Chain A
């Protein structure tokens, strides 16, 4: 049936992704295809060489202090250092092979360039690893917003059976509590012995230093007319008009990230899902679970079962949220392939094709998704614009990604559907008539 096809596709895609990653030479000597932790940290030093971790550039300072920063976790160098150490430490996982940096690899755009993440014992999850870059600027974390803050988010993967596999927070703390260096760092950062909530706080503090908002686009917006190509400028115009991107991915001074912090069903892989059955199943499991037990249950369902596809619904239980996922940021999007919550789109051209055709029709499709009738030239313009959103520190990777994606898109465009895009066949037409017969 369709579900097993999807799994086979996922497995194959993962295999291909791993192969590509290893061929690309970015693969390293750490387990699960990550770059060695030491090498990662060296890269990180290079990236952060000229930035002030406590006062990142390109953000309104008032918004940084009052909206982004946590009330009970003020940013200090000690906390950042502790968080950094924890971030690169595989001892936090049950078998000592998976650190945060395994799936949020500095050399792989702080993600893993896979369609779904791989955790301990080579188990595969269900969703793509979001990047940590700029994650501090989101209002909620995870694809379904189940964590209200970075602190909350940093405490969940350790406990997920397919990620880091620890039974509980105490086990995580136990793994590091004997380390004298940790004890000292915890004391200097939080004035107390190592404990699990502080683990979350420290990692969050470190993540707040990973702000990458210095792209050619920003230079252009600041007044340098030569910073981006004419094609990219056309693309930005399309982004705000015919492409309809701006209403969920608005990107401007007030919203540097390119997200509305909301959740939308844009019809990704929707054709594979029986949403009603999944929703029933989820409600049945989650019925008696409140608070932490509820979040824990959702965390497991989201990464280990088909109910992952319900997205935000599992958190809110609102019918309007079935199949809805958080609008992702567009910063550095060009170097963060593959795309969407399940990593099914390999290039930005695929993403354009998906939106151009009006997504995949399903009963819960966000009504703002409709066929766009974009031409090939317009798609190229939009993609060119998206490539200008990459921080200049990754300029080389950006170039390489452009070449690779362009070559791949030239060979195959699996999501392309001209008839739908040009509105010759309409969404829902196939479901209503069985085949397009309306003419």
Chain B
């Protein structure tokens, strides 16, 4: 693993990157257009303008000529939590996944890869998983899959494995080590009750169904994780994909990983760790020790914020409007800087995008705060 040179302070680096964005842009493609706007907004923020991320400020474009300044790091996109039923059962969820695929395919330039964040199917049925697989095939960028509980508990992962391969794996991309975990194991609650596979799946499918167990990574997988990280230099950036949050947010809704503390302990020695998780269907930001946590948006439906346990760093996205079945939903792009720090750009449908930057987390919430919430969850 190449050692990443540590040159400047985080703050200086980000200031410089903002300048680069403002002055170095040649083409304003869709993604670039937003980056510019956000950069401009950030500049406006530093000039004291209120609510800089609420709208795009007019951008001062300085001529054409030099190509895009060297993009820091790389970008990948995510789509998550589509909860597909068979098409004839629910067309709306299918349409929404198609919209996300359209969004990602329209990104210019294309992301390095796309992460699918789990819960592709709603009831783990083969036809649901196959429908999802077929739609995701039309993504132009390569896809890395991650499993969610809705995909798993009908047949304990059989169909998932046959379609997408192992549920736990790791890979390297550029200078970052990526780990994909199956973090939604549950202790057996179904055998004693004599449940059928369908019953078991229905139980797990209910977020608020108390009969199921709490999510966990499990001892076996924690061992695997330890081994996987063994040879990795501590300075290598690590990004963990997990369906459950890998921390403890709200137990009754399984916004929770039972062995989170153990998993965090295994990750703690590494200088730059980011966890990207699904399941929560909302904008979520947390930092525990040196680990940054970002929740992914869903394409199917938004969850409200839990009554307790909301991480202090999270600036809630606005309460979704139920008339718009796309509100509070979307997809996202993750910008990975060369030093492995991560900005999470939430591409909310029919809303302005929200960029949760590494500087925000690193500063403990003091700088680059996302736009204030107007209407919070009740």
Contact = CB atoms under 8 A, between A and B. Distances in A.
The reply to whether A and B meet directly (CB within 8 Å) is: yes
Interface of A: 244, 247, 276, 279-280, 283-284, 286-289, 316-320, 363-364, 366-368, 370-371, 423, 426-429, 431-433, 438
B215 to A, nearest CB: 30
A191 to B, nearest CB: 40
B105 interface: yes
Given A363-B106, A367-B349, A432-B138, A319 B98 contact: no
A148 B26 CA distance: 36
B56 A364 contact: no
B288 interface: no
Contacts of B101: 428, 432
B99 interface: yes
A334 to B, nearest CB: 26
Nearest to B95: A426
B126 interface: no
Contact of A288 (B58, B87, B350): B58
A283 B34 CA distance: 12
Contacts of B28: 276, 280
A318 B324 CA distance: 18
Nearest to B58: A287
A276 B60 CA distance: 17
A364 B351 CA distance: 9
Q: Which of A288, A370, A432 has the most CB of B within 10 A?
A: A432
B98 A370 contact: no
A357 B62 CA distance: 43
A413 to B, nearest CB: 23
A320 B28 CA distance: 18
Contacts of A364: 350
A220 B282 CA distance: 45
A426 B55 CA distance: 31
Contacts of A289: 58
B222 to A, nearest CB: 39
A427 B324 CA distance: 15
B300 interface: no
B102 A316 contact: no
Nearest to A284: B61
A125 to B, nearest CB: 24
Interface string B33-62: 110010000000000000000111111110
Nearest to A287: B58
A367 B326 contact: yes
B60 A368 contact: no
Interface in B89-129: 91-92, 94-95, 98-99, 101-103, 105-106
A82 B280 CA distance: 61
A131 B37 CA distance: 36
A247 B106 CA distance: 30
Contact of A368 (B30, B34, B135, B325): B325
A429 B131 CA distance: 13
A370 B96 CA distance: 10
Given A276-B33, A320-B350, A367-B326, A432 B105 contact: yes
Nearest to B329: A367
B87 A438 contact: yes
Interface in B304-362: 323-327, 329, 349-353
A367 B327 contact: yes
Interface of B: 28-30, 33-34, 37, 54-61, 87, 91-92, 94-95, 98-99, 101-103, 105-106, 134-135, 138, 323-327, 329, 349-353
Contacts of B350: 320, 364, 366-367
8 contacts: A284-B61, A319-B352, A367-B326, A368-B324, A368-B325, A368-B326, A431-B102, A438-B134
Nearest to B131: A438
Contact of A320 (B103, B329, B352): B352
Nearest to A260: B323
Closest 7 CB pairs of A and B: A367-B326, A287-B58, A428-B98, A367-B324, A280-B28, A368-B324, A247-B323
Given A317-B56, A319-B34, A428 B138 contact: no
A429 B33 CA distance: 25
A320 B105 contact: no
Contacts of B99: 427-428
Contacts of A366: 324, 350
Nearest to B353: A319
Nearest to A324: B350
Q: Which of B57, B95, B329 has the most CB of A within 10 A?
A: B95
Given A363-B103, A370-B325, 6 more contacts: A247-B323, A318-B55, A367-B326, A367-B329, A368-B323, A371-B91
A286 B349 CA distance: 25
A247 B322 CA distance: 10
Nearest to A275: B30
Contacts of A286: 58
A273 to B, nearest CB: 13
Nearest to B60: A287
B33 A279 contact: yes
Contact of A432 (B59, B135, B349, B353): B135
A276 B325 contact: no
A320 B351 contact: yes
B55 A283 contact: no
B55 A317 contact: yes
A429 B323 contact: no
B175 to A, nearest CB: 31
B346 to A, nearest CB: 12
A288 to B, nearest CB: 7
Contacts of A316: 55
Contacts of B327: 367
A427 B92 CA distance: 10
A345 to B, nearest CB: 23
A317 B350 CA distance: 13
Contacts of A284: 59, 61
A426 B94 CA distance: 8
A431 B94 CA distance: 14
B106 A426 contact: no
Contact of B325 (A287, A367, A431, A433): A367
Contact of B92 (A318, A370, A429, A432): A370
A427 B94 CA distance: 10
B33 A426 contact: no
Nearest to A290: B58
B102 A423 contact: no
Given A426-B91, A427-B95, A428-B98, A283 B326 contact: no
Nearest to A427: B95
B30 A276 contact: yes
A317 B57 contact: yes
Nearest to B104: A432
Contacts of B30: 276
Contacts of A431: 98, 102
Contacts of B349: 367
B342 to A, nearest CB: 22
Contacts of B91: 371, 423, 426
B102 A363 contact: yes
A127 to B, nearest CB: 22
A319 B101 CA distance: 19
